[in-house]
Amino acid sequence: MAGIDVDREFIPIRIAVLTVSDTRSAADDKSGDYLVKSIEEAGHILGGRQIVQDDVAGIRAIVGAWIQDSAIDCVITTGGTGFTGRDVTPEAVKPLFEKEIEGFSIVFHMLSYAKVGTSTIQSRACGGTARGTYIFCLPGSPGACRDAWDGILKLQLDHRHRPCNFVEIIPRLQEHLKGRG
């Protein structure tokens, strides 16, 4: 049965949040604020927070630096997953993925469909792993961030969640690199 196993220990992880927007600032970043608040309320550690414009090189530089930092376990981006000309978060981040987490997008769209119907197809939310770090790219709306956090990430980033969760396999994310020089 899926759920929290109260007999297991909670293990906090370090999560960095990147807001991708040409118009948001620290004063009005509602999606970033929601994610930071949710991360901290869940008992995790905020590993970093930045805002960057919709620019492939800028996004990739920040996410790339965070995945190089062994202290960061997870990166969550918000914004830039739509279809307009300025929406480039998947283009910036997907090339960094070693493995894509296809199920994240599927479950996100299932949750989103229940709330916004077919409008969910206008999001290119995605997830993957790189250098032992989870990366999740969420739409820029607070509602979408709430759907992704409350419906997926809050549970999968909790070591107590059964039957399985992302935290318990963090040590195994880089097994494919063993033996390489």
At 78, which CATH number? 3.40.980.10
Note the pLDDT of residue 181: 52
Report if residue 7 sits inside a domain: no
From the list 167, 119, 163, 170, the residue with the least C-alpha distance to 143 is 119
134 neighbors 166 (Cβ within 8 angstroms): yes
pLDDT in tens, 124-145: 999 999 999 999 999 999 999 9
Q: Which position has the token pair 């992880």?
A: 13
Q: What is the mean pLDDT of residues 52-71?
A: 97
- CA angle, residues 105, 159, 157, in degrees to nearest 5: 30
Domain that holds residue 27: 13-174
Instruction: Give the pLDDT mean for 90-96.
Output: 98
State yes or no: pLDDT of 1 exceeds 90.
no
Q: Is 29 part of any domain?
A: yes
- Is residue 136 in some structural domain? yes
Q: Is residue 3 part of a domain?
A: no
pTM listed for this prediction: 0.96
Instruction: Specify the number of domains making up the chain.
Output: 1
Assess if residue 52 is contained within a domain: yes
The pLDDT value recorded for residue 178 is 72
Q: In the predicted model, what is the mean pLDDT of residues 30-54?
A: 98
Residue 1 located in a structural domain? no
The strand pair at 74-78 and 14-20 is best described as parallel
Average pLDDT over residues 100-112: 97
Task: For residue 181, tell me if it sits in a domain.
Answer: no
The pLDDT assigned to 83 comes to: 93
User: Would you state the pLDDT for residue 61?
Assistant: 98
Residue 139 domain flag: yes
